[in-house]
Structure 1
Amino acid sequence: MYYRLFTWNLKKWGRYDDPQGNALIGVSFVMFLNLNALGVFLDFMGWFRYFEGGLSKIEVSIILLIILGFNYFWLMHKGKYLQLVKHYKKESKAERRKNTFILWGYFVISLVLPLLMISIHKQLIG
């Protein structure tokens, strides 16, 4: 995902738009959505009170900053993203199409699943 966001941003706006930073934000945002989906799922299972307890804005901000920090050291620190670029440049056109299709599926599911679970939760509760 990082590579696709990075190369898309680079082609669209060039280096001056900080494509590596924008890709980092995109990946971190999707991870944040996935963690929220996990919270909703755990609430459904009765293992965690995601809706009732709720996290404060400060706690949500801290979680997002932790995700950003983790992803920074995992993907960007000391130019690690350049290794991803080097690795994925070798993809054939068929592999690139397949991987892009899988990535879009993952992205759509990451957006829709939490909304769907929240909608179901609201219907069950009231």
Structure 2
Amino acid sequence: MPTYKLRGIDVDFPFEAYDCQLVYMEKVIEALQKRCNALLESPTGTGKTLCLLCATLAWRKSLGGFSTGSSQRKSEYHGSQPDVGSSESQSSNHPTIVYTSRTHSQLRQVVQELRRSNYRSWLIVSLHMI
């Protein structure tokens, strides 16, 4: 699996990346490093989902202390909304990544993309019906 160094972050990507994918991942990492919003677009079929997942999880891994949290804490729900404030690790100030989607079919696609990567074991995927 190729590894690309983007803005100082080693990103494992399951395929030889196209130039547009490298640019996309670099912009994702740049926004995360600067703690700012980003509006990124790319044509259908260019691998946006996989690029977003790999870049974001590589950035998060670079912060250290990566844990699924299942042995340290349980997810807490208040009403129908998750308590996002409690999702940050209690032992550090590292951010938790939350990926949302409108439909189950879109979430299935994300899980399929995640399984192609080296980052597949780092997430607990749970569907919460509201």
TM-score > 0.5 by shorter chain: no
Q: Select the structure with the greater relative contact order (CA < 8 A; seq sep ≥ 6).
A: 1
Larger Rg: 1
Q: Which has the higher strand share?
A: 2
Q: Give the TM-score normalised by structure 2.
A: 0.24
More helix by percentage = 1
TM-score, with normalisation over the residues of structure 1?
0.25
